Structure 1
């Protein structure tokens, strides 16, 4: 009998407990309770969907028993009990819990009022179309890494190649060890718009993202009433969202009214609907209100409908406020956007989640197109071999007939070895020695069928080869060009949005708006007036017409516009500031107004205004920009129609400043006037059209220490003459010269 040595390790019991508990906690966090930021799925959800995909339970095939799905998933991938798998399957099929259901359930899958699903042996399921197309497509193209399952008898995907930001669309909830995740669902169309905006502008801020994503979009609808707090919640990934149910007042018989609750807070799903009804009954019983006569829950598969019948002349507004305050008709949804990122739990803000999704999309698409490229390259090699073989087919037939074995024929095709092969002539032998097919090409030639030599088949082969070459060029472009890959991802996202986006269900507003209905803004014509001290105001168009002479004399800028429009300020620092006309004081003609600094990021201490115009006119026009260093360009006004309050209207070189912004109308030439009294007149047609982010081109060649002082456009009604040494100089008589020349000295 062999002697076996046993070693006893002495250690502190508390250390063993601590290490074991940490291992257990991390296992729960990463492998069970928290979703992965890339596909927004927990392991049990991912494994269930993958198993359905493997079983072929597609959206266009018959339903299969849930018991079969659960058993197969448990046996192959998730050995943690059938109840957790079935519960995950049920939740993925419930439209009132998921913004985008991933499973198509058939049978009793529970109700919004908390009724449980039927046993798995009774219910059936299959994949939804969106799940198949956006969650499980391309798994055969090596898009994600596969890892061994628990007993290393199967392979399972580490993550699903989800093409849309599922973590935001469907949200998530889970209780791990020492941490909780709670992510609200969002509107698919809005989230896709935000992802596309982030791909186009990686420096986008959370505030700018909020222009695309209004806030959560719960499947149960309702009203989010703390809109102003959402930005901070999405920045930090933590906070509380206040939700209210939707209450309508319906007229009944004899002047009586009823309150009808048609949408409930997301947190009221399940047993809390019954609790709400009990709470309302308690308010009546405790005489907190005497306005409610009867309560009935008329909800059905068509939706929620809870009716509170009121007595005659009941104070409906007061009663609605009471329901919000005393029951769960107004509730809070605690947000903690915790997900597994790079193998560890992390609380993520909105932008971070979107960035993770974009990085994942680039990774998945790179792997996909790399696999497709390799397949097409292998196909091209075979096609080129067959095309080449068709040109020398008589020689190849001669080699085959003269060879004693397949290996001998292949050796001749690959390396030109002719020993042991009978040829009809020495010429044939010499030609055979020149053959240099690849191994794969030679194999394809040897396996080629005779019907492939038909003329139409050869033409089809050539056509297929041309298609393969095109595919290779496209795949190489996608893999080597960030912009091309970004366009492809955006195209796929837009396609998903077009097919699967639905209108928003949840209203997002501030609490006051839930009680008092705002009057719709009446659109009207106004005139924006700003004096030389920077004080701005608006007056209605009739008031301006009555005081036109005084207004024009006292105001530095007079801009006719609509009260719904915006005013664009272009400054010498190259910035464009946007002011909402509604923010500018509207009143009597003699009102002083307020400093323009109060309405935008413009600072009179740091920058000087170069040009002011309404956004409506700006975006429909073409502009010439000129700088002190003589740089010029044309820019389309539509580029300045942006959501941000302040943007860089042009790019300036170091030490340069913007001196002129001119809207193109009848002007055909532009005149530069420098500090050293040099003038140059050039054709505007010689100034190229550029993007707002471009520096431009040189308009005038400046002498040492000289700078452009002003620009004039003498073809219009203004700028015909300038005063130089008390003498009028006619600018429209200056000789037109080429761009980027020196100009001529003015003579008094």
Structure 2
């Protein structure tokens, strides 16, 4: 019978989401502080060990490793397993690669690895000896796999602080980890020091660990920030690439980038090259004449060829400031400790590591001690049996089954056994071998009775007793066990440590002085389609007639100036002249909306002029609602790219005219219904740019100002209106806020 359980929906959602979040945090995204591995990495390495892909054996297909791992331990899709395998084989991502890859395993420039059916892999010797050794000695717990058909280690018996050596990155639910890699030798030195003195602080431990050691090298430039980062477990590390100066032919020099920030790995190298090209195109780095990427398997080599006499230091600073050649690595040392996520300081990482090593050593030597005790028991039984071998042979010959022999050897039971001598039976009743000793006696070969074999047995027993004493000493004395762990760490350092690659120093923040530009006069051209460009003044003079016919806005400006663009929605956009393409006369130019926030779909240009001229003049504004005002151009001299140039009466209002107030003696406003009003400019008051203005023409219902013109008193000015010529100078002179004269 079905039972309907009524419950609060929000409670179910909350519980389900928390369960999901914890599953992602613990079982997928975050490393365990003990072995520094995520579950997918741990399972992949363990499966490779089970498959026998040892460092001294042939490679195995990656597809086989991935399939076996997925089928036995990690049922989350083959791509996640293969991606983990690939990363563990990439020496430019890991401080100590854990997998030996054969085939295309990707490149530092972002090329992906080949499909798993083409690549092969096996364990690194370092992994096999430092990460997977002693798994047969019951040093870690084994837990059921996802379908409880296999057993997998809860954690690998890693003997170095892998979470520091190889770092880690991962995104969980509501949290993320980002731990940089460190130098193996330095990490081992810090671990040894901490084992010897657990009172060491984070700052004292930094005597051994100078800072991160990225496989790509580079320079950490905020050394003074590192103590705070390692104490709190979070912060930002600033890294720079290494740039060298090489001399070329004819006195030219080249900037050669030989090391890159760790964050530039992958597609960011291509982006860096594009950014440098952009600096050249924008004339910020005109001294760079060629960019070539000569990087290979031997290392990074990006060459920037320079013009003769180029300012090398300025260019270096420009690259650090404007590209990812100087970048930030965000540190968040989050890991699973004690079954829950925790942000760890350097000391806490080493504390967890030390506790784990003592646990591993305890379980290892308990197991070894147990084996030696069992071996000692057997050896003592055999030695004792040699002394009464004649009696044992008599028991064997007089017994009818192995059970009779075993009972006689262990408990002195002689029932059913035929003895040649009564004294033998009496001796047999005194036998008290253990079950293990009895089994060894029954399995003993007669060859063991040879004199040399007996000597070897006695010697082996002495060695066993010595081992037992040593193991008991290790297990019962903290300092002795610490010494064993330290000796082990020293041997690993001797075999596998490598020199530091990343330089740690303090460097001043880059202050990039803008170079003084050579000021030249240009001509700004904007056609009726909104394409803008600048040309040389001599080019304009030679093509003046064609330029005036083809372009709507034309004016002279300086290369260091800005252009002000006013639009019908009351906004003003500013564009640096140096950002406007400098072209040949017949080139098309660039759409203005590519250079500023102007939107061709929502606004229309009504005026454009150079800032140097605008800020020295007064501008007249006319809107569709008939309002007029004059604004001082100095109000528009701001450093923002877009500002509100005037206030409109309402959402339906728009700007009809913007122009220089001294461009005419009269203002003529034309309405949509055909009314023309001419009045003196002196009647227009000066207002702030935030003001609406005053009424310029009195409009009828549903009428609006359609156009406006600035008319000079002594010049004839004609326009065509509804197929007829209208002379604006001869219109009847009226007053501001008048209705005007209607033209049909």
TM-score calculated relative to the size of structure 2: 0.68
Alignment of 1:202-351 (within 5 A): 202-351=198-347
Alignment of 1:545-624 (within 5 A): none
Q: 2:452 aligns with which of 436, 450, 456?
A: 456
The DSSP-based 3-state class of the residue aligned with 1:213 is coil
CA distance in 1, matches of 2:17, 2:423: 81
Report the equivalent of 2:478.
482
User: Over residues 85-112 of structure 1, what are the superposed CA-to-partner deviations in whole Å (9 max), with x where a residue is unaligned?
Assistant: 0000000000000000000000000000
Q: 1:360 aligns with which of 356, 359, 363?
A: 356
Shift of 1:404: 1.9
Q: Are the aligned partners of 2:35 and 2:158 in contact in 1 as well (CA < 8 Å)?
A: yes
Q: 1:52 aligns with which of 23, 44, 48?
A: 48
Does residue 133 of the first structure (1) align with residue 165 of the second (2)? Answer: no
Does residue 504 of the first structure (1) align with residue 500 of the second (2)? Answer: yes
CA distance in 2, matches of 1:240, 1:416: 76
CA distance in 1, matches of 2:339, 2:260: 37
Residue 513 to residue 324, structure 1, CA distance change in 2 (3 Å) = closer
Shift of 1:508: 0.2
Report the equivalent of 1:522.
none
User: Over residues 449-502 of structure 1, what are the superposed CA-to-partner deviations in whole Å (9 max), with x where a residue is unaligned?
Assistant: 111111111111111111111111111111111001000000000000000000
CA distance in 2, matches of 1:405, 1:184: 68
Does residue 154 of the first structure (1) align with residue 168 of the second (2)? Answer: no
Alignment of 1:34-45 (within 5 A): 34-45=30-41
Q: Are the aligned partners of 1:218 and 1:505 in contact in 2 as well (CA < 8 Å)?
A: yes
Does residue 100 of the first structure (1) align with residue 77 of the second (2)? Answer: no
Q: Are the aligned partners of 2:317 and 2:510 in contact in 1 as well (CA < 8 Å)?
A: no
CA distance in 2, matches of 1:419, 1:175: 73
Report the equivalent of 1:445.
441
Q: Are the aligned partners of 2:321 and 2:510 in contact in 1 as well (CA < 8 Å)?
A: no
Does residue 79 of the first structure (1) align with residue 97 of the second (2)? Answer: no
Q: Are the aligned partners of 2:31 and 2:336 in contact in 1 as well (CA < 8 Å)?
A: yes
CA distance in 1, matches of 2:402, 2:10: 72
The DSSP-based 3-state class of the residue aligned with 2:310 is coil
Q: Are the aligned partners of 1:224 and 1:508 in contact in 2 as well (CA < 8 Å)?
A: yes
The DSSP-based 3-state class of the residue aligned with 1:360 is helix
Report the equivalent of 2:365.
369
Report the equivalent of 1:18.
14
Does residue 406 of the first structure (1) align with residue 402 of the second (2)? Answer: yes
CA distance in 2, matches of 1:360, 1:324: 42
Shift of 1:414: 1.0
Residue 330 to residue 513, structure 1, CA distance change in 2 (3 Å) = closer
Q: CA RMSD in A?
A: 1.1
Does residue 183 of the first structure (1) align with residue 179 of the second (2)? Answer: yes
CA distance in 2, matches of 1:512, 1:496: 38
Residue 514 to residue 439, structure 1, CA distance change in 2 (3 Å) = farther
Report the equivalent of 1:424.
420
CA distance in 1, matches of 2:111, 2:417: 81
The DSSP-based 3-state class of the residue aligned with 1:333 is strand
User: Over residues 85-142 of structure 1, what are the superposed CA-to-partner deviations in whole Å (9 max), with x where a residue is unaligned?
Assistant: 0000000000000000000000000000000000000000000001000000010100
Q: Are the aligned partners of 1:245 and 1:330 in contact in 2 as well (CA < 8 Å)?
A: yes
Residue 440 to residue 259, structure 1, CA distance change in 2 (3 Å) = same
CA distance in 1, matches of 2:368, 2:156: 19
CA distance in 2, matches of 1:335, 1:512: 21
The DSSP-based 3-state class of the residue aligned with 1:71 is helix
Q: Are the aligned partners of 1:101 and 1:128 in contact in 2 as well (CA < 8 Å)?
A: yes
Q: 2:119 aligns with which of 123, 131, 135?
A: 123
Report the equivalent of 1:163.
159
The DSSP-based 3-state class of the residue aligned with 1:147 is strand
CA distance in 1, matches of 2:352, 2:97: 22
Q: Are the aligned partners of 1:225 and 1:514 in contact in 2 as well (CA < 8 Å)?
A: no
Q: Are the aligned partners of 1:377 and 1:472 in contact in 2 as well (CA < 8 Å)?
A: yes
CA distance in 2, matches of 1:118, 1:231: 41
Shift of 1:416: 1.4
Report the equivalent of 1:91.
87
The DSSP-based 3-state class of the residue aligned with 1:299 is coil
Shift of 1:400: 1.0
Shift of 1:222: 0.1
User: Over residues 260-289 of structure 1, what are the superposed CA-to-partner deviations in whole Å (9 max), with x where a residue is unaligned?
Assistant: 000000000000000000000000000112
Q: Are the aligned partners of 1:206 and 1:350 in contact in 2 as well (CA < 8 Å)?
A: yes
User: Over residues 641-672 of structure 1, what are the superposed CA-to-partner deviations in whole Å (9 max), with x where a residue is unaligned?
Assistant: xxxxxxxxxxxxxxxxxxxxxxxxxxxxxxxx
Does residue 64 of the first structure (1) align with residue 60 of the second (2)? Answer: yes
The DSSP-based 3-state class of the residue aligned with 2:341 is strand
Shift of 1:419: 2.4
Q: Which runs of 5+ in 1 are unaligned?
A: 516-748
The DSSP-based 3-state class of the residue aligned with 2:210 is coil
Shift of 1:14: 1.6
CA distance in 1, matches of 2:509, 2:384: 76
The DSSP-based 3-state class of the residue aligned with 1:414 is helix
Q: Are the aligned partners of 1:226 and 1:509 in contact in 2 as well (CA < 8 Å)?
A: yes
The DSSP-based 3-state class of the residue aligned with 2:203 is helix
Shift of 1:512: 3.8
Does residue 32 of the first structure (1) align with residue 28 of the second (2)? Answer: yes
Alignment of 1:587-666 (within 5 A): none
Shift of 1:420: 2.2
Q: Are the aligned partners of 1:66 and 1:124 in contact in 2 as well (CA < 8 Å)?
A: yes
User: Over residues 45-71 of structure 1, what are the superposed CA-to-partner deviations in whole Å (9 max), with x where a residue is unaligned?
Assistant: 000000000000000000000000000
Shift of 1:406: 1.3
Shift of 1:513: 11
Shift of 1:446: 1.2
CA distance in 2, matches of 1:28, 1:241: 27
User: Over residues 605-651 of structure 1, what are the superposed CA-to-partner deviations in whole Å (9 max), with x where a residue is unaligned?
Assistant: xxxxxxxxxxxxxxxxxxxxxxxxxxxxxxxxxxxxxxxxxxxxxxx
Report the equivalent of 1:715.
none
CA distance in 1, matches of 2:193, 2:508: 31
Q: Which runs of 5+ in 2 are unaligned?
A: 512-744
Shift of 1:153: 0.1
TM-score calculated relative to the size of structure 1: 0.68
Report the equivalent of 1:383.
379
Shift of 1:318: 1.0
CA distance in 1, matches of 2:332, 2:240: 20
CA distance in 2, matches of 1:138, 1:149: 21
CA distance in 2, matches of 1:193, 1:443: 49
